[in-house]
Amino acid sequence: MLFTYIKKDFSLSIRNIFVILVFLFPILISLGASGILETYSTSPKMVVLEKEKELYSFPHDIKVYVVENEEELKKKVYDIDTKIGLLNQELVIDGRESDTHIEQAKMLLEGKAIDSNRVNETIFEKVFAFNLYGSLIFSGIMILFSLVEERAHMTTELLKTHPVHPIVPILSKIVVVGAITTIDFVICSFLLNAPLQLSSFLVLGIGMLLGSILGLTLAFYASNETQALAILKPVSLVYLMAIPGLGFFVEGIMHTIALFTNPFYWLLQLVHGLYQNQLDSLYVLLSIALGILALTFISLNWHRTPYGVKKYM
């Protein structure tokens, strides 16, 4: 019976343009974020001819573009990104390059070593982690709108007549959203250079747990999509983005405020822990403990919601 509900919810999801947009949004944002290190660097990006590439020896972390002819080389140098060409042992520039990059390119031309470290890796790891965190919090939004859609179309009343436990329709939605979120998370992890390992799926599970709680809680207050959006705007901007973001990037007092008031900040710290190859057990324990308590409270009171079957004495 659960499989039947899953099949139905999956069929509805792939036909729902909102779900498709929610699925694509984190991926598109991740594509933009993944280009940061490609665009910004403390070392020059070089363009060389195929026939001349053996004349130069570049450090492994210097970005080098190899082109077929002189026309392609100049086109590459003159495009929107800042690059320096090497042609016949001479620099090809377009005037936008910094003096530092030009000096480094001259040193490379002379076979000298340069400091080719990328832009502050720590801040970019944080930017990547924040984007990857976004792929998880959308799970709660999808669960919310999946529930509200049924309530708006009075499907909840019909479901109550089915000979299944009332938890089955909810579980089917969580399973479908979980599958979509997993695909999102894996794609975004690849784009944002996050290591995919066993701990990644622990973080994914915690993200789904917190997202499910968020969606189930907000669904109690919204009877249609308009109300859901009205509730979601302040929640997403303040609770899901602003407080975790300020605590994460500003730190200090904001870290303390976020730590004691926002479980999604714990999730963000866990995502960042993937990049550092070390999950903080405190955030893991806090997230799981809160999740279990919240799910217990929701399950005990679900009959009071429009989605549950009323208990009669």
Residue 251 counted as domain residue? yes
What is the C-alpha separation between 18 and 192, in angstroms, rounded?
24
Highest mean predicted confidence (pLDDT) among 22-31, 158-167, 228-237 = 228-237
96: which DSSP letter?
-
What is the C-alpha separation between 119 and 251, in angstroms, rounded?
21
Please write the tens of the pLDDT for every residue from 115-155: 655 444 567 788 889 999 988 988 888 888 877 777 665 56
pLDDT of residue 91: 87
Residue 248 has pLDDT above 70, yes or no: yes
Percent of the chain with pLDDT over 70: 79
pLDDT of residue 119: 44
What is the C-alpha separation between 61 and 115, in angstroms, rounded?
10
Half-sphere exposure of 274 (CA within 13 A, CB side): 28
Residue 225 has pLDDT above 60, yes or no: yes
Tell whether 92 and 239 lie within a shared domain: no
Highest mean predicted confidence (pLDDT) among 99-103, 140-144, 173-177, 268-272 = 268-272
Work out the average pLDDT over 199-226: 88
Percent of the chain with pLDDT over 90: 23
pLDDT of residue 12: 62
Q: State the total domains in the chain.
A: 2
> Where are the strands (E) in 244-283, listed by range?
none
Please write the tens of the pLDDT for every residue from 175-207: 888 888 999 999 999 988 888 888 999 999 999
pLDDT of residue 207: 93
Tell whether 195 and 294 lie within a shared domain: yes
Work out the average pLDDT over 96-118: 74
Work out the average pLDDT over 252-262: 92
Residue 313 has pLDDT above 50, yes or no: no
Highest mean predicted confidence (pLDDT) among 43-52, 60-69, 181-190 = 181-190
What is the C-alpha separation between 90 and 85, in angstroms, rounded?
8
Tell whether 64 and 143 lie within a shared domain: no
Tell whether 73 and 27 lie within a shared domain: no
Tell whether 62 and 131 lie within a shared domain: no
Residue 215 counted as domain residue? yes
Residue 60 has pLDDT above 80, yes or no: no
Tell whether 51 and 199 lie within a shared domain: no
Work out the average pLDDT over 151-172: 63
Tell whether 103 and 147 lie within a shared domain: no
Q: Report the candidate in 302, 11, 27, 7 with the shortest Cα–Cα distance to residue 183.
A: 27
Tell whether 161 and 52 lie within a shared domain: no
Mean pLDDT rounded to a whole number for the chain = 80
Model pTM?
0.72
Domain span including residue 54? 42-109
Tell whether 70 and 124 lie within a shared domain: no
